[in-house]
A and B are shown apart, each in its own frame.
Chain A
Amino acid sequence: MAELRYRDDEPHEQPAVTLDAFLDQSNAAAVRLEPDDDARALIPYLDRISLIEVGFPAFRDGRGYSAARILREAGYTGELRAQGDILVDQIAFMRRCGFDSFAPEGSLDPAAVERALGQFPYAYQTAADDADPIWKLRHE
């Protein structure tokens, strides 16, 4: 269950299956990716998945950020959850990469999360969120 969720639809309540189990035969609608898993393996099935959970066993392991962007770039619109060793100071990066729910191992102070998300009004890069990059604002 996500502690923080930035979606309006009903949360998917079935447990997520591993990527291997999913690719084997499963008709599960929720999948969990470990850092080693190739997110691109899910691309053919994205329209029937409603939750992808990406594991962060250690906050230093940043592979999940690329996994999230790859999934959003491929058109995935379902829930994308970051689970594991997630610190408040990473939420803004994760939101920009397309994560829209969070299940941290420790608990997060909602006020601190709010502050962190409001810290930077602009961003330099195009990413998976809908923020216009600064270069676009400059040349509008």
Chain B
Amino acid sequence: MYSYDKYDQSIVDGRVAEFRDQVKRRLAGEITEDQFKPLRLMNGLYLQLHAYMLRVAIPYGTLDSRQMHKLADIARKYDRGYGHFTTRQNIQYNWIKLEDCPDLLDDLASVEMHAIQTSGNCIRNISSDQYAGAAADEVTDPRPWAELLRQWSSFHPEFSFLPRKFKIAVIASKEDRAAMRLHDIGIELTQKNGEIGARVFVGGGMGRTPMIAPEIGPFVKAEDLLSYIEACMRVYNRFGRRDNMYKARIKILVHEIGADEYRRQVEEEFAHVKKLGIDPPLAELERITEFFAPPEFAADADIKVDRSDPDFALWLDQNVKDHKQPGYAIVNISLKPIGGIPGDASADQMDVMAEIAKQYSFDELRVTHAQNIVLPHVAKKDLHTVWRALREAKLADANLDLISDIISCPGLDYCSLANARSIPVAQKIATRFADMDRQRDLGELKLKISGCINACGHHHAGHIGILGVDRKGVENYQLTFGGSGAEDVAIGKIIGPGFDEDGIVDAVEKATDVYRELREEGERFLDTYRRVGVTPFKEAIYG
């Protein structure tokens, strides 16, 4: 894991002091809420329906037990004893008092954490593959590159007032576990002639105009990365639309001028920027990479796991994934208990996860964009012990990637932008499919729910997507099929008129019935839908 030096710490400490001053000015009435808004937003503080919401950055979703314990402490001390893990691999607290914020940020800084650039029209937290450093199919660990970008983007003086927010993801595997091409910039690290470089995609995103990012830079060398991304950003900062906030994301610019013209402008700018000496020497990437050296795996850890406990075996099959190191496994902790709030964890659960990580996963945890937690390096011999400890804390739901592993935005229960509630819909669907045999029979089925067109719940990327809209004061839910955030990336299509809250649950159930009837050997819901098209589903749902 990356560890701060005095420079990194000075940046975070400087921010806390600055925000303490800003809050003081606000509380004293020296600045208005209007003037304060951009300042608090730069610190991840939103004014929501009921209270302030604070979003804490978890860079590329990686954290250690000390940090997870601190997140639990914060949940107890400043919130109501829980936190909400987000699709950006961050955590949000929903009940924060403004006057507590500076102390809260101080607590975060004490464990090398912060809320810098978790909101506002700037470069947000860099996201990555939750299996980084553990996946067998990666060409390298993407996190050093993400950390290099994190540092470069922190308080970037030119790019702190962009037309709109800006999200970057970095992966290093063919299998895309981070919805890379649905980011403003998606980077896939790839190997060419023994050298690792970045394949750069620009202009993806969800929101009201979903787009899949086209490839702009086929192979950017490590020593050119910051210049290249700076060129991408400068073209956007200068020419991205500012007349309409709904058309201000970079995807609109790339779409309007075309990928070829955008690429031409980036290359022209890059030729200029490259001469400015903004790229650190490769020694800096090497310095960062050392922090991510593989842990000291035991050489003789390869054992056969005893599967005689059937519940344990189900969990193994669903939530435990292959590790690149023999004798080790990747454990997924589902934060999607049937009827629960997707992504929520209590302070006590955070403490349990931290303790288990410390004892059994080389002190590492990951947050996934699907709002779950990962223990990346668990020895196979410890799997049963880990499972029992998780079960004790109600963290052993064996539903990873099944229909109840729902991504959901907070919706109208918390969010001031939402048009409809999303959490109750997620709960109803999960409850309808509570029978685990039934879920397993349906197989991988990614269901994602957004409570408004901003698509924070990634509904465009759902095999089944649900979008809550407001229709003449009544909550109405639209259904989309065929989306994917993985390497087979696609935007889902609306299949027909919307439903009320109970109707949408019935419609989802009917869709799964059609799938069961029509599926061929080995097909997921998504595959069957792609093969047979929407008609049989529409007939069953609307017929």
Contact = CB atoms under 8 A, between A and B. Distances in A.
B11 A120 contact: yes
25 contacts: A59-B161, A65-B157, A65-B160, A65-B161, A69-B158, A87-B38, A93-B157, A93-B160, A97-B157, A115-B21, A119-B14, A119-B17, A120-B10, A122-B10, A124-B151, A124-B155, A125-B152, A125-B156, A126-B276, A126-B278, A133-B278, A134-B7, A138-B287, A139-B280, A139-B283
B17 to A, nearest CB: 6
Contacts of A96: 157
Interface string A108-140: 000000011001111111110000011111110
* Interface range on chain B (Cβ under 8 Å from partner): 35 or more
A62 interface: yes
Given A115-B21, A119-B17, A126-B276, A138 B11 contact: no
Given A35-B242, A87-B35, A120-B155, 15 more contacts: A62-B159, A62-B163, A65-B157, A65-B160, A65-B161, A66-B234, A66-B237, A89-B22, A93-B155, A93-B158, A96-B157, A115-B21, A124-B155, A125-B152, A135-B151
Nearest to B239: A63
A61 interface: yes
B10 A63 contact: no
A60 B248 CA distance: 12
Given A89-B39, A122-B10, A135 B280 contact: yes
A66 B284 contact: no
Interface string A35-72: 10000000000000000000000011111011101000
B281 interface: yes
A61 B161 contact: yes
A122 B14 CA distance: 10
A105 interface: no
A3 interface: no
A66 B239 CA distance: 11
Q: Which 5 residue pairs of A and B lie closest in terms of their CB atoms, listed nearest first?
A: A62-B161, A96-B157, A135-B280, A93-B157, A126-B278
A109 B298 CA distance: 60
B278 A125 contact: yes
Contact of A127 (B35, B157, B280): B157
A139 B121 CA distance: 32
Contacts of B287: 138-139
Nearest to A95: B157
Given A66-B234, A66-B237, A123 B155 contact: yes
B190 to A, nearest CB: 24
A73 B242 CA distance: 25
B154 interface: yes
B158 A66 contact: yes
Contacts of B35: 87
Interface residues of A, number: 37
Select the residue from B151, B158, B238, B284 with max chain A CB neighbours within 10 A.
Answer: B158
Interface string B1-36: 000010110110010011001100000000000010
A121 B157 contact: no
A138 B290 CA distance: 15
Contacts of B238: 63, 66-67
B335 to A, nearest CB: 33
A87 B10 CA distance: 23
Contacts, number: 100
Contacts of A139: 280-281, 283-284, 287
Contact of B151 (A90, A116, A134, A137): A134
A133 B280 contact: yes
B155 to A, nearest CB: 7
Contacts of B161: 59-62, 65, 90
Nearest to B226: A125
A35 to B, nearest CB: 8
Contact of A73 (B159, B272, B283): B272
A32 to B, nearest CB: 18
Contacts of B281: 135, 139
B75 interface: no
A139 B284 CA distance: 8
A115 B158 CA distance: 21
A93 B281 CA distance: 24
Contacts of A59: 38, 161
A65 B237 contact: yes
B194 interface: no
Contacts of A90: 161
Contacts of A127: 157-158
Contact of A121 (B14, B21, B154, B163): B14
Contacts of A126: 276-278
Interface string B266-286: 000000100011101101100
A112 to B, nearest CB: 8
B151 A63 contact: no
Interface string B136-172: 0000000000000001101111111111000000000
Interface string B54-98: 000000000000000000000000000000000000000000000
Nearest to A89: B39
B237 A63 contact: yes
A135 B10 contact: no
Contacts of A89: 18, 22, 38-39
A63 B156 CA distance: 14
B22 A124 contact: no
Contact of A60 (B7, B121, B237): B121
A129 to B, nearest CB: 8
A91 B11 CA distance: 17
Given A134-B7, A137-B7, A125 B39 contact: no
Contacts of A115: 21
B18 A119 contact: yes
Contact of A138 (B18, B157, B284): B284
Given A66-B234, A134-B7, A138-B284, A125 B22 contact: no
